[in-house]
Amino acid sequence: MKFIAIGELMLRLSPPNYEKIVTTHNFIVNYGGAEANVAVSLANLGVDSTFFTVLPNTDLGKSCINYLKANDVHTKHIIKSDGRMGLYYLEEGVSVRPSQVIYDRGSSAFAEYDYKDVDFENILKDYDWLHLSGITPALSYNCRRLIDKAIKAAKKLGLTVSFDPNFRSTLWSFETARDVLSRYLPYVDVLIGIEPIHVYNADGTDVKDGLTMDPSFEDMDRVFKAIDEQYHMKAIARTVRYVHSGSNNSLKAFYYADGKTYESKTLNFEIVDRVGGGDAFSSGLIYALMQNDWKHEDIVNFAVASSVMKHAIRGDTNITSVDQIKRLMNNASFDVQR
């Protein structure tokens, strides 16, 4: 199975040691972006993984490519262009203090690039799986066009398409996001997260109206079935996060496939680095789905364990192995491995 993701890769600048942006004297360098995180995490699990993006033609763009290559991600389709490096500042939360993000991704090389001459059919023809997120169409008109072209080419070529709607309120309104992203759903096979999209009841209200952040199994089952009915998915999944503090969370997930809903174990864990936790759920899910013979219970539990493991690793991505995730999923000992 050959995997490709498309999206923006940003420079991530975070103060060390849980210092604050307003008092820090230096920034730790990482790289991140929802789709790139999935590509890098999958490559670390051993999947043949490629990332497509546009990067500035400077040493900053070169650093990104080095980062991807060092993580076994193929970079041959990446375009170098004028424009700035998108970045974000991350103040890592701890204890009662939440993480805070300041985005500075406007006018980036990725957002400004004119994708009209990019031949996505030619790019995607060698791959089996395409992953996209709802962040890209929020960045610019050019990016929205990019997603249009890519998702349609993927469908035409028969790739499995996974999609994480991933709403970012600083980029666009919830209503606009719903309208735009719902148009992509007919092309999606695996849906990871259920907002912001439209799933209409007969009376025009949304199936998800009134659904809480911690829904019952019955409610979740009802919603998944409605989504499947309208959009015909191979699989749907979503996580439920219990935020006990900035340093301690619990996580579980609901997962739907073949007409049935499954609920994972709930894992409690301390947090080293919160960012990329959702993307590690995606990469875990995609990895598990690529193994054709896994049981549904194992698929969702592996995806949750993948996400939980990420929170113990610095940076945006899940630099770990399938074995380590399985150990966690199977409750093996956390004691030192000599």
From the list 5, 164, 311, 316, which residue makes contact with a copy of itself (rule: CB under 8 A)? 311
From the list 1, 60, 211, 290, which residue makes contact with a copy of itself (rule: CB under 8 A)? 60
Structure-block tokens of residue 33: 């972006």
Q: In whole angstroms, what is the distance from residue 238 CA to residue 249 CA?
A: 16
What are the two backbone dihedrals, phi and then psi, of residue 108, each rounded to the nearest 5 degrees?
-75, 160
From the list 1, 80, 89, 250, which residue makes contact with a copy of itself (rule: CB under 8 A)? 89
**Shorter beta-carbon distance to a copy of itself: residue 39 or 328:** 328
State yes or no: residue 112 binds a copy of itself (CB under 8 A): no
State yes or no: residue 57 binds a copy of itself (CB under 8 A): no
- The Cα-based distances of 224 to 105, 123, 133, 265, 319 in angstroms read 33, 32, 19, 19, 31
Question: Shortest gap between Cβ of 14 and a copy of itself (angstroms)?
Answer: 10
State yes or no: residue 66 binds a copy of itself (CB under 8 A): yes
Q: Which stretch binds a copy of itself (CB under 8 A): 14-22, 46-54, 253-261, 289-297?
A: 14-22
* H helix or E strand, kind and range, residue 127: none
From the list 48, 79, 81, 99, which residue makes contact with a copy of itself (rule: CB under 8 A)? 99
Cα–chain-centroid distance for residue 145? 20
Q: Which stretch binds a copy of itself (CB under 8 A): 151-159, 221-229, 291-299, 314-322?
A: 314-322
Q: Which of residues 67-86 bind a copy of itself (CB under 8 A)?
A: 67, 69-72, 84-85
State yes or no: residue 19 binds a copy of itself (CB under 8 A): yes
From the list 4, 5, 9, 13, which residue makes contact with a copy of itself (rule: CB under 8 A)? 13
Neighbours of 222 (CB within 10 A): 16
Residue in this structure with the two tokens 């170098």, named with its chain if needed: 80
Q: Which of residues 247-276 bind a copy of itself (CB under 8 A)?
A: 247-249, 267, 269-272, 274-275
Contact 256, 217 (CB under 8 A): no
Q: In whole angstroms, what is the distance from residue 44 CA to residue 38 CA?
A: 10
Shortest CA distance to 44 belongs to which of 65, 69, 72, 2? 72
Q: In whole angstroms, what is the distance from residue 99 CA to residue 20 CA?
A: 10
Q: Which stretch binds a copy of itself (CB under 8 A): 226-234, 281-289, 290-298, 321-329?
A: 321-329
Q: Which of residues 201-230 bind a copy of itself (CB under 8 A)?
A: none
State yes or no: residue 22 binds a copy of itself (CB under 8 A): yes
From the list 63, 81, 182, 250, which residue makes contact with a copy of itself (rule: CB under 8 A)? 63
Q: Which stretch binds a copy of itself (CB under 8 A): 163-171, 204-212, 217-225, 282-290?
A: 163-171
Question: Shortest gap between Cβ of 184 and a copy of itself (angstroms)?
Answer: 22
Sequence-ordered list of residues with C-beta below 8 angstroms from that of 51, at least 6 positions apart, any chain: 4, 5, 6, 7, 9, 35, 36, 39, 40, 68, 73, 74, 75, 78
Beta bridge partners of 219: none
Q: Which stretch binds a copy of itself (CB under 8 A): 21-29, 46-54, 232-240, 255-263?
A: 21-29
Question: Shortest gap between Cβ of 328 and a copy of itself (angstroms)?
Answer: 5
Q: In whole angstroms, what is the distance from residue 193 CA to residue 198 CA?
A: 12
